[in-house]
Amino acid sequence: MREIDRKRILVTGGAGFVGSHLCERLLGQGHDILCVDNFFTGAKGNVAHLIGNPRFELMRHDVTFPLYVEVDEIYNLACPASPVHYQHDPVQTTKTSVHGAINMLGLAKRVKAKILQASTSEVYGDPKVHPQPESYWGHVNPIGIRSCYDEGKRCAETLFFDYYRQHQLRIKVARIFNTYGPRMHPADGRVVSNFIVQALRGEPLTVYGEGGQTRSFCYVSDLVDGLIRLMNSGDDFTGPVNLGNPGEFTILELAKKAIAATGSNSKIEYRPLPADDPTQRQPVIDMAREKLGWEPTISLDQGLPPTVAYFRALLEV
Ligand code: NAD
Ligand code: UDP
């Protein structure tokens, strides 16, 4: 890479599931990476293979506190993403989204960096419009057990657009739909990792409710490609833009696929549906197709085997 094209890139939450894949890809492109994480849900092990590369630096830091570094681009991913983890300390979750956004936007303003926010399909709440286009304002409970995450992310979007209007910051907002793949935490409670781990251990798969609720699952390499395309898009394009795979499945269908992909004899067990659990979720990705030339390339059937292989090796089963 020519020196002039090499960027200094900060990835917050870089030791997490998505962040570690993003650091790896950006490093592979020849950039200098500063990975910042407080290791709440992420782990050094996720980026251990990058340590030692002279263009990679790992820093323990909590984004709810200010950060003084010199960078050209910021990918702001720091925030627990699984309901079990973000509900563990909901006040800290809101602080991470809101104070974290304020700190990273302040940093971007000071050093004139371009900044991307990892927002979420949760800003649509339990959607009454299906599938969800970016123009939908959502249907979100402001006082429920998911609100620390949903409202925190919504407030972060507000801050991004206010910094854009008030300070002319170069911003990018991605609304990420359910993403899965290697390096998900085996105990973080998200549905793909839960089902695969349960199936590999021969334990019952825990389907919440009747399993008729739907999600659309994106493989992590497709998401990382979309995030980088968004960051590299023209300054006039801010998003918010949906990044997700439109392939929609019921949770019961996913459970059956996980059993098939692992060759397990596990049975399905039904558990109570958690409060405010969205009944349906599927992205409209016309904007990503048009503005970023992006669409997912890996179906759920293609993405499950490498994910199963990762967990099989991790659990040694
Ligand atoms: P993850 O939990 O694996 O990663 C989040 C990372 O942020 C972890 O490494 C964690 O230690 C770190 N972190 C949390 N609080 C922090 C703080 N205060 N300071 C510094 N670091 C902190 O989750 P993920 O799936 O990799 O998600 C990454 C981002 O993408 C999150 O912002 C999440 O909201 C967003 N997102 C993910 C999905 C998905 O399905 N994976 C969907 C929508 C949005
Ligand atoms: N779910 C489930 N069993 C599990 C974990 C999750 O049936 O062991 C369901 C959950 O109720 C939700 C869907 O799977 O309807 C996706 O849950 P996840 O926590 O992965 O993410 P969400 O999209 O709800 O944030």
Establish whether residue 16 lines the binding site of ligand 1, counting it when its CB lies within 6 angstroms of any ligand atom. Answer: yes
Q: Which atom of ligand 1 is nearest to the CA of 121?
A: 43
Range 81-93 burial, b when 16+ CB lie within 10 A, else e: bbbebbbeeeebb
Q: What was the pLDDT predicted at 1?
A: 78
Whether the per-residue pLDDT at 182 is higher than 90: the answer is yes
Question: How far is it, in rounded angstroms, from Cα 128 to Cα 279?
Answer: 9
The residue whose C-alpha atom lies closest to atom 22 belonging to ligand 1 is 78
CATH fold of the domain at 7-315: Rossmann fold (3.40.50)
Cα Rg of the chain (Å, integer): 19
Active-site residue flag, 180: no
User: Among 18, 141, 176, 208, which is best to mutate for testing ligand 2, by the most ligand atoms less than 8 A from CB?
Assistant: 208
Element (H, E) at 304: helix 300-315
Domain spans, the chain: 7-315
pLDDT band at 241 (very low <50, low <70, confident <90, very high): very high
Å from CA of 265 to ligand 1 middle: 32
Å from CA of 206 to ligand 1 middle: 24
Whether the per-residue pLDDT at 2 is higher than 90: the answer is no
DSSP classification of residue 234: -
pLDDT band at 238 (very low <50, low <70, confident <90, very high): very high
User: Among 20, 61, 75, 79, which is best to mutate for testing ligand 1, by the most ligand atoms less than 8 A from CB?
Assistant: 79
Whether the per-residue pLDDT at 168 is higher than 90: the answer is yes
pLDDT band at 317 (very low <50, low <70, confident <90, very high): confident
pTM of the model: 0.98
Rounded mean pLDDT, 85-104: 97
Å from CA of 149 to ligand 1 middle: 11
C-alpha to C-alpha distances, 67 to 44, 95, 107, 265, nearest whole angstrom: 20, 15, 7, 49
Closest ligand, as measured to the CA of 16: 1
Q: What was the pLDDT predicted at 3?
A: 78
Q: List pLDDT tens digits, range 106-131.
A: 999 999 999 999 999 999 999 999 99
Q: List pLDDT tens digits, range 248-307.
A: 999 999 999 999 999 999 999 999 999 999 999 999 999 999 999 999 999 999 999 999
